[in-house]
Amino acid sequence: MANAHEILGRIKSIRDTMKITKAMYMVSSMKVQKAKRKLAETLPYFTSLQEQIADVLLHFPEFTHLFFDNRPEDALETVKRRIYVVITGDKGMAGPYNLNVIKEARAQFATAQDYKIYAVGETGRHVFTAEKLPVEKDFRMSSNNPSIYRARVMAETLIERYQAEEVDEIYVIYTRMRNSISSEVRVERLLPFKTSRYLKKQLAEEAEASAGVVSVAEMEILPSPEEVMESLVRNTVTGFLYGAMVESQASEESARMMSMKTATDNADAMLAELSRTYNQIRQAAITQEITEVVGGAKALQKKKLKKRAKAAESAG
């Protein structure tokens, strides 16, 4: 069993660690709230972009474009060249957050024949590079503190590759926060857009607004539907990437917050156990000291009695 001095040292070390875990919990909590505010502030704008895309598709049913999956040549492709944008954290101490994203990414890679990885976040980049997977080395993006500017740079890079027809599909693997204590890894196809999804959504909204009667009014778009659609798509891709990064950061900080709370709770339990052990050792030591004092007093008393007895014998 450790002595009292060693236990006091462990208690001090745990208390120092608790200060760090509590501070990290508070920092993560603030970052989660900040990420939620960012998403809430920008969501209406990017939602309206998707509604405008749906409007154009609804009013121009024969519209085809590289950014959509409604071209005849797309259906003839037997092998889809893919880009996977994988969003992980830049650091650990966030529970299973990074592990869950990497696990899902590996499952997606296993089903792909020809793909490239665009890693956002140092953790994913290190893991995939160590596994000698096809990581795009020129694409280096941090997942910390996402911004519209960074999302736009990413979007332009991806769209440039897509427009050059170097890739057929672009997927984003990220984490969406369900609530403050749980999240889920999502895999979303970024490009090409699913035409049917936009049309179904718009038709449902039109039907609801007109009590079941859908009427498609004529629409004129200048300078042309193609140019307007390209601008809408670029901004929508930017918005999606920004939203995915913000959601991922919120999920990461939420996971880190829960991890730090668990660490703090475990430290509390360890302190309670060490305090009991320390008190037991201290009580045993005090009992031992009392026993030694009492034993010494008794021995001294016996010695005095013996001396008195000898003195009485000498006097007799």
Determine phi and psi for 87, rounding to 5 degrees. -105, 110
CA distance 207 to 130: 52
Q: What is the predicted pLDDT for the residue at 43?
A: 79
pLDDT category, 208, cuts 50, 70, 90? low
CA distance 218 to 226: 17
Could you confirm whether domain 25-260 is CATH 3.40.1380.10? yes
CA distance 130 to 81: 23
pLDDT reading at 37 higher than 80: yes
Greatest mean pLDDT range, 68-72, 209-213, 237-241: 237-241
Higher pLDDT, 190 or 198: 190
Asked if residues 184 and 178 have their Cβ atoms less than 8 Å apart, the reply is: yes
Residue 36 CB contacts under 8 Å (≥ 6 apart), including other chains: 250
CA distance 192 to 233: 10
Q: What is the predicted pLDDT for the residue at 152?
A: 92
Q: Where are the alpha helices (DSSP H) in 117-224?
A: 122-130, 148-163, 195-209
- In the chain, where the domains are located: 4-15+265-315, 25-260
Strand partners, 193: 68
pLDDT category, 213, cuts 50, 70, 90? very low
pLDDT reading at 72 higher than 70: no
Residue 205: other Cβ atoms inside 10 A: 14
pLDDT reading at 206 higher than 80: no
Length of the chain: 316
pLDDT category, 1, cuts 50, 70, 90? low
Of the listed ranges 15-24, 52-61, 156-165, 226-235, the least confidently predicted one is 52-61
The 3-state DSSP class for residue 230 equals helix
Tens-place pLDDT, residues 79-105? 789 999 999 998 888 888 899 999 999
pTM assigned to the model:
0.79
Q: What is the predicted pLDDT for the residue at 292?
A: 78
pLDDT reading at 201 higher than 70: no
pLDDT reading at 250 higher than 80: yes
pLDDT category, 175, cuts 50, 70, 90? very high
